[in-house]
Amino acid sequence: MRNAFSDVIYEMAQTDPKICVLVADISPAGSMEKFRERFPERFINTGVAEQSMIGIAAGLALKGMRPFCYTIATFSLYRPFEMIRVDLAYQNLPVTVIGMGAGVIYSTLGGTHHAMEDIAVASAVPNMTVVAPCDPAEMRLMTRWCATQSSGPVYMRLGKVGEPDLTSSSIDPFIAGKIRYLVRGTDLAILTYGNTAAMAMAIATKLGALGISTSVISVHTLKPLDISGIALILKSHMHNVVIEEHVPHGGLSSRVKEIAWDIQLKNQIHVFTLKDEFIHSYGEYSDLLASHGLGAITILETLSSIKFETIL
């Protein structure tokens, strides 16, 4: 994802002189080398100083630039939070804050590097748009949208490396602010975003083999949420599942339940999220997800054994 990001930002900068990049000494900024060499004046490394990164980006945006701030999610959103709230959101400036390696993808770096509540934190701020594309192609489209949108600041949650292509054969095109069917089924819908979309696709395939026709929806725009789009999904599938790599509160699963209440939904909702607990263990990314009940096998077993008598 990060290499694809550096490619698209480089492409955009060639035709749009407003595009600039600010990083806070993040080592993957190495992937920005091409940008830095070609556009040295539009590349600012603030050093290990994230408050300065956001404040300076706001100053750039006040003068008409389109800054993208880029570092690890915990440091791009949490450390300079009040700068994001006041400098970017209160002044409603078109700055994109990239949260790299969000979720628990930095599995061996420990809880200091896990962004488990970033969607809730970013979504709580007025004027803020919150997005989480699920694969490099969706990220490219989202990044292009960020560079031209006029709605204010954006927090973009990104994974790290090696995301598979999930969207090249998707049912729906990408439209910012709208949910997007990646595959369409009739019995069960999985709503997800970002990192966990790949897992959702794999689960859908397995469920399909069991005779359960499954939709997978990329909810790449978490705020503003496509409420009518989600309401339609909930009504048209007997069982609805939310998989998100995020604490249980303030993310997609709680929003989906709010919508379900508002439309007096009769169909079922099952949510799989991280627990409301910090993670003190290490191992592979998948180990951490599994330790919080977000393992693909657990989810598949749960859905297969408990939920599908009514469907099958």
Chain contacts with other proteins (rule: CB under 8 A): 20, 41-42, 44, 46-47, 49, 51-52, 54-65, 80, 82-83, 86-87, 90-91
Give the DSSP letter of residue 141. H
Our CB check for other proteins shows the closer of 48 and 232 to be 48
CB of 46 to other proteins, least distance (A): 5
Question: How far apart are alpha carbons 92 and 90 in whole angstroms?
Answer: 5
SS3 298: helix
Which residues 6+ apart lie within 8 Å of 191 measured at CB? 179, 217, 219, 230, 233, 240, 241, 242, 243, 252, 256
DSSP 160-185: -S-PPP-STT-SSPP-TTS-EEEE--
Give the angle subtended at the CA of 139 by the CAs of 135 and 143, to the nearest 5°: 180
| 90 Cβ neighbours under 8 A, 6+ residues apart | 127
Q: Select 77 or 303, whichever has its Cβ closest to other proteins.
A: 77
CB of 285 to other proteins, least distance (A): 32
Q: Which is nearer to other proteins, 54 or 289 (CB)?
A: 54
Between residues 46 and 214, which has the closer beta carbon with respect to other proteins? 46
| Smallest gap from residue 34 Cβ to other proteins (A) | 19
CA dihedral 244, 248, 253, 258 (to 10 degrees): -170
Rounded to the nearest whole angstrom, what is the least distance from the CB of residue 50 to other proteins in the complex?
A: 8
Minimum gap (Å) between residue 87 Cβ and other proteins: 6
Which residue, 79 or 114, is less far from other proteins as judged by CB?
79
Cβ proximity to other proteins, 86 vs 263, nearer residue = 86
CB of 187 to other proteins, least distance (A): 50
Q: How far is Cα 249 from Cα 251, in angstroms, rounded to an integer?
A: 6
